[in-house]
Structure 1
Amino acid sequence: MTTRALLTVSVLSLSLLAGGCASTNGLSTQASLGDANALAAQKSLAGTPVASASWPRSDWWTALGDAELDRLIEEALAGSPTLKVAAARTRKALGLAETSKAALYPRVDASYEATRERFPEHGLVPPPAAGAWSTVHQLQATLAWELDFWGKNRAAYESALGEAKAAEVDAYAARLALSANIAQAYVQLQRAYLQLDVAQTTLKEREQIFALTRDRNAAGVDSRLELKQAESALPATREQIAQLNETIALTRNRNAAGVDSRLELKQAESALPATREQIAQLNETIALTRNQLAALLGQGPDRGLSIGRPDAHSLETVALPASLPAELLGRRPDLVAQRARVEAAQKEIAVAKAEFYPNVNLIAFIGLQSLGSAGFLSAASRTLGVGPAISLPIFEAGRLRGNLAGKNADYDIAVESYNQTLADALRDVVDNLASFRSVAEQRREQAQALSTAQEAYDLALLRYREGIGNYLQVLSAEQPLLAQQSLDADLKSREISLSIDLVRALGGGFDDSAIGGMTAPVAAIEQNRSVKDQNQ
């Protein structure tokens, strides 16, 4: 048969086989992708009371303004085992994509065989080889190429490419989560130290008041009651020092001398356990936070011991865009990754549908074959062939339809997972935004309350020093001041923490167009193929 006739027969066979393909009728997907703008969140996202700014870069944490935090995050990004695992998963997904791409091209194999065998006397091999032992030598190069008429291999490759993109985006999501967790832990460390600042300032002021009261009592200016009031207040506020032991010892001595009553001794002594508990809590908070930071860096706890105290005034809130439209959710890596998985699932449906159609392979071979070694390398031993191989599943007992139904279900699962991720993302953003607005309002009101409490305390202290007020008035004015100073530290830390949460909720500067560090070469092949198709 001539080559022309062979091709004609192949085309006719292909047409007949295509007409006998199994049916895909009644099999389809049911889910549809959601739209952020259709979830009625515009009012909740509007009117954000934050400073206008361009969207943060991928190194958004630098906007917090702390050099030590910058170094910690950079160290973590360079050596975190979590990020290395994510990078390995990306390489694995890319390897699978490259494996799928290989099916788009011809496969060429070479082989050599030397087989010692006895041919039967009444077989196909004529004498003198018949009935004798001989060595069969065969050297052959084979070309096999699946002609992807229905796009099955192309769809499988594009599906694997989508999974590779999703893995790469997941790696960025891990990077964002790690940097945000470190920033949050660092903010909590700063908060603990700010609370210590309040306590130390209070201790210093009460020591000064006690010294002044003692001097005035010695001069007969104050009553002994005021002296005891000032003295009893001092140890109760020494939350970070070990001088309470000295206070108890002095009180015991004074009680033995008849200066103080036993009640005053018990009052001073009872303050010690409570103060030690507060000290233990603060030390625990600082130690645990440092351990947390060390673990996030991928290091042992000793690394945490070298983390210094955050500057009390270094951290600032991250400036966000003045308007937060729903489209910004497209910057979230989890949504981008899930969308890539939806596209990959869609391509898997195309693969499953292509299974219903004929599979056409082009096979060619060329080589040398001979009985015995003599003449093996001569032209007379040459062998070659070429032709199509066509196959079609006629009866698969529902295997193909079941496979397609499963792929349709996988697509529906991916779509609904995307829709749920989108809804959760909107809630995440709106919740953080509502809290951010509330804390911003609380800080404005609290600033006024702190100023008023400070003025009241300064006035009470001045009156006491001038001898026209008593110590009880100073204590009464001091309590709201301490509460406002502590609240100021809490609100400042929470505002910074919420700004970090908002950055993470909106993607942390992630840009989908920047993805392609590993998948870019494959994407370039896709782009070139599209250009060639358009030109043809």
Structure 2
Amino acid sequence: MRKFFLLIAACSVLAACNLAPAYRQPDLPVAGHFDESEVPEGAGAGSGRLATEIGWQVFFGDPQLKFLIAAALERNRDLAASVARIEQARALYRIQNAARLPQVNANAGATRTQAPLGSFDPEFADSDATVRFNQYNVQAAVASFELDFWGRVSNQSEAARRRYLATIEAQRAFRLSLISNVAATYYAIRAGEEGIELAERTVTSRLYALEIATLRLDAGVTSSVDYEQAAILVTQAQTQLAELSRSTGQLRNQLTILVGGPVDGPVPAARPIEDPGQFGALDAGLPSALLANRPDIQQAEQQLRAADADIGAARADFFPRISLTGSFGYVSSELSDLFVPAKQAWSFGGLVSLPVFDAGQRQAQLGQARARRDELVADYQRTVQTAFSEVSDALIGRQRYKEQILAQEEAVEAQRRLAEAAELRYENGISIYLEVVDARRNLFSAEQQLIQLRATALQNGVSLYIALGGGLDAP
């Protein structure tokens, strides 16, 4: 009895053996905090909520944009594919994890056999007599079960589990990317629509100016040069209008694909892009928070942990594999007495497989697993660097776009005053019409640039929200 317990204890110790390296987070090649110069004045710590604390339904203030994001999350085909990949990885994990337990199969059978009597006894070889008999059997069997002394099976299961968790993070990352793409495309469309409205107003006013120039030319008050310059202003505005209509139409097609097809039903009204209520203030937090908040970083970490488990499985291949087989059941020629102790049939056995010579195959597999881990360490560090860079770039943009928009608004007002003065000077005969042409052209360009700057600033705000790990559903 004492030897039996010692054997059980020894098996328990061996079964607890795990040859996988302990996980250690790679060194982070980033600073411990964001550059203070990147944080806008009055937008430091505590000035806003963390992105992870704000669901996208709360963060975005435009009702039409929220409607489109909800449609995309529900109907986008790529997102549906990413969910299906999660189920595939989950099934693969369950398949691999099942190897940690014995696979028991049960079967039952019944046969009726007729054979010549001579096949049983040569003395009756010339006899025409036959023998008939029945056989019934019920059996439960374990085909082959590996005793996981070295952690090979458990590490393979752990690797599959980590890859399953990585697919979950990949789906979360794609989900945030989808929200970002929908918002960025939407703001580009809104900028295009406002640019089209501006171009249409400009074309209308310039056509009126062309009519005046035509009348003045017919009356001999002005030269053909002024007329041609007025016509050029019209064609320039018409060209810009056509360009904006083309690009905006293409963006609408892109948005339709992102939201999974045409949207049915009434669509809420949109807010102007200059509306300050598009979204609220965000607190950048600390770079270390990105490790827990960014799904792409979490995905890279899960892949790295899976690589550690792969190394453990590769190391275990150098040790013997011990497998057990067994069966237990009943066999009888009569169904009525099948389940009696005397009809029991059983067998148990074990197999030890010891690697002797494989021409370096196992060593190469271990080297491959280690090299794969080195690759994933570099991927993890690169992912962290990318996340840090995205947040830093968005923080810089948040401040600099604000400054640029204020300067551009002043430039638009200055160009508008210049255009009015140029028209007065021309009407009073002080200057030629070329000054009016240049002033109107510069005003139109400045107004279009202001619209684009506002849209770009909104897109940057979305990028900052997503880069900080925002995009979860509202609680």
TM-score of the aligned structures, taking structure 2 as reference length: 0.77
Deviations 1:214-266 (CA, angstroms, capped at 9, x unpaired): xxxxxxxxxxxxxxxxxxxx3388xxxxxx7xx49x94x88678777655555
What corresponds to 2:127 in structure 1?
none
Q: Which amino acid counterpart does residue 35 of structure 1 have in structure 2? A: D
Task: Point out where structure 2 has 5 or more consecutive residues left out of the alignment.
Answer: 123-129
Partner of 1:49: 40
Instruction: Tell me: CA distance 1:139–1:9, structure 2 relative to 1, closer, same or farther (3 Å).
Output: farther
Q: Distance in 2 between matches of 1:425 and 1:117?
A: 77
CA deviations over 1:58-116 (Å, ceiling 9, x no partner) = 63364231000000000010011111000000011111111122122232211234565
Q: 1:139·1:369 contact (CA, 8 Å) conserved in 2? A: yes
Segment drifting more, 84-93 vs 142-151: 142-151
Q: How has the CA–CA distance of structure 1 residues 266 and 448 changed in structure 2, closer, same or farther, with 3 Å as cutoff? A: closer
What is the deviation of 1:439?
A: 1.9
Please, what is the CA RMSD of the aligned residues?
4.5
State the match for 1:235 in structure 2.
207
Aligned AA for 1:311? Answer: P
CA-CA distance at 1:352 after TM superposition: 1.9
AA matched with 2:75: G
> Cα gap change, 1:114/1:401 in structure 2, threshold over 3 Å: closer, same or farther?
farther
User: How far did residue 158 of structure 1 move?
Assistant: 1.6
Report the 3-state secondary structure (helix = DSSP H, G, I; strand = E; otherwise coil) of the residue aligned with 1:367.
strand
Q: Is 1:278 paired with 2:240?
A: yes
Measured after TM superposition, the shift of residue 399 of structure 1 is: 3.0
Q: Which residue of 2 aligns with 1:316?
A: 278
**CA-to-partner distance for each residue in 1:266-303, whole Å, 9 max, x for gaps?**
55555554343222112112211111110111115x87
Deviation at 1:435, TM superposition (A): 3.4
8 A contact 2:63–2:268 mirrored in 1: no
Counterpart code for 2:170: D
Kindly provide the amino acid, as one letter, of the partner of residue 156 in structure 2.
A
Q: Please name the residue that 2:125 is paired with.
A: none
Q: Which runs of 5+ in 1 are unaligned?
A: 19-23, 124-130, 208-233, 238-243, 515-536
The equivalent of 2:251 in structure 1 is 289
Matched ranges for 1:57-456 at <5 A: 57=53, 59-60=55-56, 62-114=58-110, 116=113, 136-143=135-142, 145-199=145-199, 234-235=206-207, 247=211, 251=214, 266-299=228-261, 311-314=272-275, 316=278, 319-370=281-332, 376-386=338-348, 388-450=350-412
8 Å Cα contact 2:39/2:396 also seen in 1:
no
- CA shift, 1:368, in A, is 1.3
**In the aligned structure 2, how far is the partner of 1:277 from the partner of 1:481?**
16
Match of 1:34 in 2: 26
Q: TM-score, normalised by structure 1?
A: 0.69
Report the secondary structure of 2:469's partner residue: coil
- The 3-state SS of whatever aligns with 2:278 is coil
Return the alpha-carbon distance in structure 1 between the equivalents of residues 365 and 248 of structure 2: 56
Say whether the 8 Å CA contact 2:180–2:463 is kept in structure 1: yes
Residues 373 and 494 of structure 1: CA distance in aligned 2, closer, same or farther (over 3 Å):
closer
Give the number of equivalent residue pairs: 450
Native 8 Å contact 1:103 1:153 kept in 2 = yes
The answer to whether the 8 Å contact 2:38/2:396 transfers is: no
Counterparts of 2:321 and 2:132, CA distance in 1: 41
Which residue of structure 2 lines up, in the alignment, with residue 231 of structure 1? none
Aligned match of 2:126: none
Quick check: 471-480 or 194-203, which moved more? 471-480
Distance 2:274 2:140 in 1: 74
- Give the Å deviation of 1:194: 2.9
d(CA) in 1 for partners of 2:187, 2:231: 35
The 8 Å contact of residues 60 and 509 in structure 1, kept in 2 or not, is answered as yes
Q: Partners of 2:245 and 2:388 in 1: how far apart? A: 38
**SS class of match (1:39):** coil
CA–CA separation in structure 2 for the residues paired with 1:284 and 1:484: 21
| Deviation at residue 182 of structure 1 after TM alignment | 0.7
Instruction: Name the CA distance, whole Å, in 2 between partners of 1:49 and 1:446.
Output: 19
**Mapped contact 1:453–1:481 kept (Cα < 8 A):** yes
Identity across matched positions, percent = 27
Q: 1:489 aligns with which of 442, 451, 456?
A: 451
